[in-house]
Amino acid sequence: MADVSAPAPGMPVTAKVSFTVNGAAHELDVDTRTTLLDALRERLHLTGTKKGCDHGQCGACTVMVDGRRINSCLTLAVMHEGGSITTIEGLGTPEQMHPMQTAFVKHDGYQCGYCTPGQICSAVAVLAEIKAGIPSHVTGDLNAPPQLTNAELRERMSGNICRCGAYSNIAEAIAEVAGRAA
């Protein structure tokens, strides 16, 4: 649990929170109202994760926490004490890109690029969910391992909006990494 300190009258409540981000340990003293998104961008200067709608509707802020994708604008930093967070910066570098990053480049899975970090983090997590056998709302047989069908892909990526409409290219990139044709 985060170490919460008593505030002076009229001052915000702050807490120390420790978590691992992209493999590096961090300890921050944050206002308890600070979102994970703002802690990543403003305190750790990891600006790859984007603030889109700031209401959990667009997916631009998607990161992975303990292997599960979340909208970082909808969760408080202090809720992730001891957690392991992966942002777009933690997936790969320009010299050694993650296979999903490479596929997005190859298939032009971005246009303006604003949603791309969230799309890529979500896509990596989608493939992990399928591999782990986690069903979605469109999974037909809950007793069988889910397959990456077009319906599954559309459902699982539906929380990530692309204002430019690069959806078919994004689907092709994900399908390539999954090992099947789109």
For 99-178, CATH gives: 1.10.150.120
Task: Classify burial at 82, counting beta carbons within 10 Å of its beta carbon; exposed 0-12, middle 13-18, buried 19 or more.
Answer: exposed
Kindly report the length of the chain.
182
Q: Beta strand 24-31 with 68-71: parallel, antiparallel or unpaired?
A: unpaired
In sequence order, the 6+-apart residues with CB closer than 8 A to the CB of 120 are 88, 91, 98, 100, 101, 104
* pLDDT tens digits, 6-60: 666 777 899 999 999 999 999 999 999 999 999 999 999 999 999 999 999 999 9
What local confidence, expressed as pLDDT, does residue 10 receive?
73
The residue with greater pLDDT, 176 or 5, is 176
* pLDDT tens digits, 63-73: 999 999 999 99
Euclidean distance between CA atoms 34 and 72, whole angstroms? 11
Indicate if the pLDDT at residue 180 is higher than 80. Answer: no
What local confidence, expressed as pLDDT, does residue 12 receive?
83
Q: Beta strand 84-86 with 14-21: parallel, antiparallel or unpaired?
A: parallel
Euclidean distance between CA atoms 149 and 137, whole angstroms? 13
Helix 167-178 × helix 116-131 angle, to 10°: 40
Distance set, CA 144 to CA 76, 134, 135, 151, 179 (Å): 35, 10, 9, 16, 19
Domain 3-91 has CATH 1.10.645.10: no
What local confidence, expressed as pLDDT, does residue 6 receive?
64
Indicate if the pLDDT at residue 110 is higher than 60. Answer: yes
What local confidence, expressed as pLDDT, does residue 132 receive?
95
What is the residue extent of each domain of the chain? 3-91, 99-178
What local confidence, expressed as pLDDT, does residue 2 receive?
62
Phi and psi at residue 96, to the nearest 5°: -140, 80
DSSP 8-state assignment for residue 47: T
DSSP 8-state assignment for residue 76: B
Range 9-22 burial, b when 16+ CB lie within 10 A, else e: eeeeebbebebbbb
* pLDDT tens digits, 119-169: 999 999 999 999 999 999 999 999 999 999 999 999 999 999 999 999 999
Q: How confident is the model at residue 174 (pLDDT cuts 50, 70, 90)?
A: very high
Closest CA to 31 of 18, 17, 20: 17
Question: What are the tokens at 151?
Answer: 């319906």
